[in-house]
Amino acid sequence: MDIRPARTPAELQAAEALFDGPARPEWSARFLDSPGHLMLIAYVDGEPAGMVSGVEMTHPDKGTEMCLYELSVDEAYRRRGIGRALTLALADEARARGCYGMWVGVDTDNEAALATYGAAGAHDEGVFTMRGWSLAP
């Protein structure tokens, strides 16, 4: 397995089976061009097997932390430690960028994600709830 950062929209399009939908070229370019955005892709025998995306978040009184935005492993490659390896690679990158911490929001019934994050050293910080706003017209 080889984990490396995505640098071009073409790399994201080649890995779009790992996403919830198609990787649009204009959105891919915007993601990659945005400071603090990071996409790591795991390759097995040259094929995209998994990805993790992270976004740095800075606040004036806290400093910078990394949000693990999304993790995905192709079904054919699951249960091989790829998700754990991607999570740890993102944590290493966050540390190298000077982040003081890393966090992820995860559904409480997502047992696979909870097991993956736990295997990568994450701990439960208590009750979490999320509220959202749909801003699309």
What is the C-alpha to C-alpha distance for residues 14 and 99, in angstroms, rounded to an integer?
29
Average pLDDT of the segment spanning 49-73: 96
Taking a C-beta distance cutoff of 8 angstroms, is the pair 104, 116 a contact? no
Average pLDDT of the segment spanning 108-136: 86
Specify the pLDDT at position 35. Answer: 94
At 124, the pLDDT band (50, 70, 90 cuts) reads confident
Dihedral over Cα of 37, 31, 2, 21: its sign? positive
The SS3 assignment for 15 reads coil
Position 48, amino acid: P
